[in-house]
Amino acid sequence: MAAWRIGRGCGGVLMKLGRLGSIGCLWCLGALVACAPTVKPAVPANGPSAAAPRQPGPTLVAAIRLEPLTLATRPLREQGVAVYLSGRMFNAELAILDDKANPRPYLAEGLPRLGTDDWRVFPDGTMETSYQLKPNLTWQDGTPLTAEDFVFGWHVYSTPELGARGNPYSAMAQVSAPDARTINIRWHRPYPDAGSFTNRNGELPPLPRHILQAAFDAGSPETFASHPYWTTEYVGLGPYQLSEWQLGSFVEGTAFAGHILGRPKIDRVRLVFISDSNTTLANLLAGEVHLSADSSLRVAQVPTLKNEWGQNGGTIVLHPNQWRSVSFQFRPDLADPAALLDVRVRRALAHAIDKAPINEAVYDGNSVPAEIMIPPVSELGRAVDGAIVKYAYDLRQSEQLMREAGYIKGANNFYASPNSGQFTAEIKTNAAADNEAEMSALVSGWRQAGFDTQSSVLPAAQARDSQVRASFPAMFSNNTTVGLPSLTNQTSAKIPRPENRWQGGNRGGWSNAEYDRLVDAFDTELDRGRQIQLLTQATRLYSEQVPTISLFFRTQPWAYLARLRGPALVAPEANVAWDIGEWEFQ
């Protein structure tokens, strides 16, 4: 891929409405973040500010597509959807990714550096890291935060009955608190993200012992997971504290005066749950909603919003933070047709997708065609992009692969095999206008190419059911986070199963021992050059085997009225709301 085409002109990712007319600007790969406006740095971490009393300002109303299952950044049950805004509002951790996806200290005074006393590697391959918490940290109920809350969080999330798995807990041997502000972590193997816990699905969130300890000690995982702390009685450390949760309607947060980066400038934020994007659009135009986030607005609605808002109505940030792909079912007892277990058939389906017209028709050209889960805009991404197998739209190649697999086109122009009959497969997706439009385009293209495919929509009520999401018969198109977390999510350890309560991102059940070995080696490698080598080997193998067909880096619109100032373009791995405490609303 020679360049990324993001939106309409160099304002296509951050679009100040009224300047969206130019079409056809191509961004080179390294300029994804460079085109963004300068982001004002966060307030220095010097403790809560002593602001003078003031009258409460207006409430910022933000639309999100689905109600979160919890406000915690590491839920005990998988959300099934991305919850960037609520996760950022109510939480703080040891470090945070800034607008360039670089880790910054947050609750910690500093981040451990390899080769120092804070990050030691021993001859036997074990490690030890140490964090020092900033002074005067408190939970939002006023209780002091101590290192013991991190130890307690480690105990909870390491409990198998609560579904804990993967990084960073699989690499940890012990977490201890020598004193109230010191966290020591003993690692039984090297772990490259031990200095920040930000890049590999590896958060290490604390949990409030004073609220949850008794429930945890009671020993009932189901009762503990149902504790009201996780929902309507949530207490966090972030810039906003929960003030009200009307289930099925909205969540409201008020500015937390004790926030370590200072009291947020916006006094109150209300998140309303609007599953219908047309309703979100109407509320934005009416001024009843001031910000759309977390997929509440469709990319294809951006031109309509731009035209209605005119010159000074507002701003739209298109953040390419979602990897859109089609997963195949690999569980033999579920895979139907069994032909999908043949890599030649999967490659043939990949060659039969013309992404450009789908991007234009469904996303108004604002998504980015993807070849794999890692965007080619970083050192790692560029190395991957040069190593993987790519599947250009090529119907001749598609037909050749099907012939090799024993399929030829019959009189009805659909592929069939003398042994298996006509190839017929279903693709399913979660209910959402963009998802369904994209799926319809895929089915139309495949049928024209000779693949008898049908579509099916998973209702929103079932989209949170992990077992249902993993039990599709043939193909499932979905979003997941871009970058290294998605790489890890494709390992055998992340296959949803009854014994792990159907938790895990490898929903199709693909398993490859060599891929697992390469990813495990990558996750234990501290040398940058060796990391790149392992990553390119793993992604090349993945692209050869086609457990998924990469479609797009889909952009999420963050549209907001001119009254709001602050949201800006960030790197794909970062959160647009990372500096929400500095936003202003009039």
Q: Identify which of 217, 215, 214, 197 has the alpha carbon closest to the alpha carbon of residue 205.
A: 197
**SS3 (DSSP) at 152:** helix
pLDDT at residue number 501: 81
Give pLDDT tens digits along the chain (586 positions). 333 333 333 333 344 333 333 223 323 333 333 333 333 333 334 444 444 566 789 999 999 998 999 999 888 876 556 689 999 999 999 999 999 999 999 999 999 999 999 999 999 999 999 999 999 999 999 999 999 999 999 999 999 888 656 778 889 999 999 999 999 999 999 999 999 988 655 689 999 999 999 999 998 888 999 999 999 999 999 999 999 999 999 999 999 999 999 999 999 999 999 999 999 999 999 999 999 999 899 888 999 999 999 888 999 999 998 999 999 999 999 999 999 999 999 999 999 999 999 999 999 898 999 999 999 988 889 999 999 999 999 999 999 999 999 999 999 999 999 999 999 999 999 998 889 999 999 999 999 999 999 999 999 878 878 899 999 999 999 988 899 989 999 999 999 998 888 888 899 999 999 999 999 999 999 999 999 999 999 999 999 999 999 999 999 999 999 999 999 999 988 999 999 999 999 9
Q: Identify which of 258, 270, 221, 262 has the alpha carbon closest to the alpha carbon of residue 77.
A: 221
* Inter-residue contact 482 to 320 (CB < 8 Å): yes
Residue 327 tokens, joined = 């997963």
- Show Cβ contacts of residue 343 under 8 Å, excluding neighbours closer than 6 positions: 544, 545, 546
Tally of residues, the chain? 586
Query: What span, in angstroms and rounded, lies between the C-alpha atoms of 461 and 464?
Result: 7
Q: If you ran DSSP here, which 8-state letter would residue 579 be given?
A: G
Residue 534 tokens, joined = 């392992």
- Show Cβ contacts of residue 574 under 8 Å, excluding neighbours closer than 6 positions: 97, 98, 99, 100, 101, 321
**Cα dist from 354 to 235, 345, 393, 405, 443, whole Å:** 47, 17, 5, 22, 11
Q: Identify which of 74, 131, 548 has the alpha carbon closest to the alpha carbon of residue 326.
A: 548
Residue 352 tokens, joined = 């039969």
- Show Cβ contacts of residue 506 under 8 Å, excluding neighbours closer than 6 positions: 489, 490, 491, 492, 494, 495, 496
The DSSP annotation for 23-52 comes to: ----B-GGGTTTTSPPPPPPPPSSS---PP
Residue 470 tokens, joined = 């993993």
pLDDT at residue number 350: 98
Residue 412 tokens, joined = 């009805």
CA end-to-end span of the chain, whole Å?
A: 42
**Cα dist from 208 to 97, 149, 545, whole Å:** 23, 6, 44
pLDDT at residue number 199: 67
Residue 132 tokens, joined = 């020092």
Half-sphere exposure (CA, 13 Å, Cβ side) for 577? 26
Parallel, antiparallel, or unpaired for β 452-458 and 421-422? unpaired
Q: Kindly list the structural domains of the chain, giving each domain's residue range(s) and its CATH number in brackets, ordered by start.
A: 104-228 (3.90.76.10), 321-554 (3.10.105.10)
Parallel, antiparallel, or unpaired for β 291-292 and 59-64? parallel
* Inter-residue contact 520 to 538 (CB < 8 Å): no
